[in-house]
């Protein structure tokens, strides 16, 4: 596995919910913090949410805090982003990546992977 694999994106109505999944290598999953990022047309890629290697620490951007929840399943070795109360401004391509800790994820430093294809989330009014 050279790149992370994101899945779960789709078109939903405003106010709806969606869960995205991120698959990385087992070693990366067990060792690094994993974060979600998004990029909307004409905008820079931005940090959304992150979780550290053991799931004890999470971090969220102000725009998604209280609406999105990042979690990890140790059995499946998958990282999820549960999104609720979706808004049209949440529409973007969502990506995941890994770094040493959530501070580095939020600061855009030390990414383990190049950017994958991402998964498209479209929220309609």
Structure tokens at 109: 């430093």
Q: Which residues of the chain have pLDDT under 70?
A: 1
pLDDT score, position 41: 95
Give residue-wise pLDDT tens across range 29-41: 999 999 999 999 9
């Amino acid at each position: 596995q050279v790149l992370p694999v994101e899945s779960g994106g789709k078109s939903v109505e405003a106010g709806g919910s969606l869960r995205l999944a991120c698959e990385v290598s087992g070693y990366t999953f067990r060792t690094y913090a994993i974060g979600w990022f998004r990029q909307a047309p004409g905008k820079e890629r931005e940090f959304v949410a992150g979780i550290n290697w053991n799931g004890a620490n999470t971090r969220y951007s102000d725009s998604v805090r209280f609406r999105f929840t990042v979690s990890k399943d140790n059995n499946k070795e998958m990282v999820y982003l549960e999104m609720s109360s979706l808004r049209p401004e949440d529409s973007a391509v969502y990506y995941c990546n890994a770094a040493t800790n959530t501070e580095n994820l939020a600061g855009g430093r030390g990414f383990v992977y190049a950017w994958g294809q991402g998964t498209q989330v479209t929220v309609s009014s």
